[in-house]
Amino acid sequence: EEAPAPGMSAELRATMGDSAVNAAKAVGYEGAGTVEFIFDAETNDYFFMEMNTRLQVEHPVSEMITGRDLVQWQLHVAKGHPLPANQEEINATVKGHAIEARIYAEDPDNGFLPAVGKLHHVRYPEVNGETRVETG
């Protein structure tokens, strides 16, 4: 996962964001969630894929570039409070770039089903205000 999407114009990002908000409004949803699209880089067309009324595992990339705690926001909204900021306010705080990488144990000889085994070596980056490491 990566944010902001490389090579995507601010105009296209805003248009896709509007489409995501409109999808949520169309079903009466208010709160934290995720709308996903499939993007065709050759035509710049995008297509609705799914909407989740929850945060997804990839949410830390958004948190890193906005400085916002989306889990805290989701709990805040669940208690009946309004979102702490609107999309324009969030967009105004976007800075930097974030990439999320996940390591999975899968067996390629068995249809990439989950597998167990020993991890013989791992080295994490130094954690600071610009790096986030989560394990578990």
Answer yes or no: are the C-beta atoms of 60 and 34 closer than 8 Å.
Answer: no
Active site positions, annotated: 54
Distance CA 118, CA 26 (A): 47
CB-count burial class (<10 Å; 0-12, 13-18, 19+) for 59: buried
Would you list the DSSP string of 93-116? H--S-EE------EEGGGTTEE--
DSSP 8-class letter at 118: -
- Size (the chain), residues: 136
